[in-house]
Amino acid sequence: MKRLPQLLAVAISSMAIASLTAAPAHAAKPEADKLSPTVVRDLHFGDALFYYYQGEDLEAITRLLAYQQWGRMPHHDAETNLLLGGLYLSLGLHNEAGERFETLLTRSVPEGVRNRAWFYLGKVWYARGYLDRAERAIKEVQGRLTPDLEAERMHLLSNILLRQQRFDEAIALLNSWRGRKDQSDWLAYAQYNLGVALVRKGLIAEADPFLTTVGTLESGRRELRSLKDRANLALGYAYLQNNQPDLAKPVLQRVRLDGPYSNKALLGVGWADAASGQFQEALTPWMELRDRNLLDSAVQEAYLAIPYAFAKLNANAQAAENYETAIRSFDAETSNIDSSIAEIEDGTMLDRLLQRDGRGRDQYGWFWQLRELPNAPESRYLYHLLAGHDFQEGLKNYRDLAFLGGTLSKWQDSIVAFDDMLDTRERAYAERVPQADAVLASGRLDKYGADRATVGGMLDEVETTQDVAALGTAQEREQWARIMRLEAALLTAPDDEETNAIREKTRLAKGVLYWRLAEAFKARVWNERRTLKDLDQALREAQNRWVRVEKARGSMPNNTGEFAARVAALRARLEGAQVRLAEVAKQQNELLETLARSELEQQKERIGTYQIQARFALASIYDRAALGGGAVSVPAGEQPSESQGELEQVQPEQAPSDAAPGNAPAGEAPPVETPPAPSTDSTDPAAPQPAPPAGESP
């Protein structure tokens, strides 16, 4: 059985083989939306299917390609190509899979199968970031899919438009969609994405009803609660950026304090109060935020916002104390980040990630994901990066390269085994050639033929002369010979009464023995003829073997040399592939380590900026205290309120995780995909996320 029954590759490739194992030998009338039933007509195709059902996709691909090249599957050309496309997809070879599907999805394929395949192919391209190809594939769907797939198709197309900054088209599409009553989850995501598109167009007032509807929904499901927080966060920051803090605060206060977006919400609530001049109230959320993980950018900003508020309240001592606390904390984090960068530069980060995962090097394919992180200094700083789509895809590539390296090493061992086989064959040849030459030179087969001819002639003579004694047993022949000697002796004996009595007894004994021999003669002749036939068969087999030995004697050196040349060529190919693989793995390792190092350097740079602001503000406080100054006037470069946190980018949201695959028709549940990560800061709680299919949690 497959590792994950709802994998996208399984959903597509099953179109080619779903009926192979259970289909009757006779062809049934095909349904309009399904492929025609078929049976496995080529043994080699069944062999490849065996490995497919065992989950050994690479083995299945290897055999399919080899058998296809050798022409061993003439009755399964279409099924082979469709299955290869699904297997390529499961291995993450999306370009190869897409090319095969685009070639195969013609009008000859039933419409229902073709529509689902185009839909899944669109999801493949979308997941890989090929938005133009994804849009083209989605628009190839003719008619409507099942209600759940149709809803997902609409959301997928809207996400494509949003990521291409085509907001007017996305708004029109989302406004035109009408879901069923049992598709409330899809409706919530549609409203969120519609609100996002309107915010991107600068129409905050028009976006408010949609985002507020999502931000006030009641649900016990974790995914929808997360969507609710994202909607409130997006709307709240949109109001903050539009200089409407009074409207932003109640929206941001709807975000859960224990949710993943609470840090951004607390920061925003504080800035809403600060923008209204309520610095005392702003301290409440910021003080709560300061006690949280300093790795979060919102917490880092709170370390500056708190002394800023104290300064605004003319509490210079508290402001100076909190600035000093911020500087010490930032210094400690900077030192930790430097240590983490040094750990990354040793070149073993990816290997530690795969070792921590346990079976990471033994698994391959698109659907593998990193589940656990090593207990290393850099891990705590890279959670967002490691969870990002770009890094995950790169890590999958590195893991696949490691798996291929292991596979090539196994094949290299096979080459050694082939060498041993050839050596053994050559030694056996060297040992047996003298024996074969002696047999060929002995002329034994001709002698055996001559002996058979002699025996056949003797049997013919016995049968012609009715020499019944010749076929008797050894005892019978001995008795017959004694009688013959006795008769010869009696010929010269005197003619008296005693001699005549002996003659009579001899005659009676001869008659009895002859009667016995004559009675068994025909059966014995038949047995001898059958024995001669067996001997003829044995002689013919010996003749055939004799000819084969003669041929092998002449061809064996050439065959061994040909095999040795093929093995040597394969060894050279493997060695070249291993060199190229090592180089590509090195480049992939350097790329991912560069991403990790860049992420840490960005964090270090951000903390460095905060350090400068804190030191400058602290110096200003000490200067004014030394000069006996009055109220604190914080320089513009120091004021975090100028930025009000990192700019919140409102982006399209994911589709619901259980938006109905349980109610979808059997065999049509959309497969699981890993969507691409947004291009914006991964710490942004409103960052773009494509709509995953049913069954996936964001």
In a shared domain, residues 297 and 225: yes
Number of C-beta neighbours around residue 614 at 10 A: 24
Q: What pLDDT is stored for residue 364 in this prediction? A: 54
Domain range enclosing 195: 144-314+631-698
Q: What pLDDT is stored for residue 18 in this prediction? A: 43
In a shared domain, residues 242 and 133: no
Q: What pLDDT is stored for residue 389 in this prediction? A: 65
Hunting for tokens 């049968």 — which residue is that? 463
Cα–Cα distance for residue pair 387/565, rounded to 1 Å: 48
Mean residue pLDDT of the chain comes to: 76
Is residue 546 helix, strand or coil?
helix
Phi, psi of 652, deg, nearest 5:
-65, 150
What letter would DSSP give residue 4?
S
How many angstroms from the chain centroid is the CA of residue 690? Answer: 22
Q: What pLDDT is stored for residue 316 in this prediction? A: 86
3-state helix, strand, coil in the chain (%, to 5): 70, 0, 30
Domain boundary among 122, 142, 162: 142
In a shared domain, residues 193 and 137: no
Q: What pLDDT is stored for residue 570 in this prediction? A: 87
Whether residue 373 is contained in a domain is answered as no
Cα–Cα distance for residue pair 169/417, rounded to 1 Å: 62
Q: How many domains does the chain divide into? A: 2
In the numeric block, which tokens belong to residue 661? 């695959």
Cross-strand bridge partners of residue 672: 7
Whether residue 513 is contained in a domain is answered as no
In a shared domain, residues 635 and 698: yes
In a shared domain, residues 269 and 279: yes
What letter would DSSP give residue 362?
G
In a shared domain, residues 191 and 138: no
Q: Which residues of the chain have pLDDT under 50?
A: 1-32, 359-361, 366-368, 630-698
- CATH number of the structural domain spanning residue 637: 1.25.40.10
In a shared domain, residues 167 and 297: yes
In a shared domain, residues 150 and 297: yes
Which residues fall within 8 angstroms of residue 163, CB to CB, at 6 or more apart?
131, 652, 688, 690
Domain boundary among 142, 160, 181: 142
Please choose, from the candidates 107, 43, 110, 50, the residue with its C-alpha nearest in 3D space to the C-alpha of residue 83.
Answer: 50
Please choose, from the candidates 55, 51, 118, 46, the residue with its C-alpha nearest in 3D space to the C-alpha of residue 90.
Answer: 55
In a shared domain, residues 154 and 302: yes
Cα–Cα distance for residue pair 536/547, rounded to 1 Å: 16
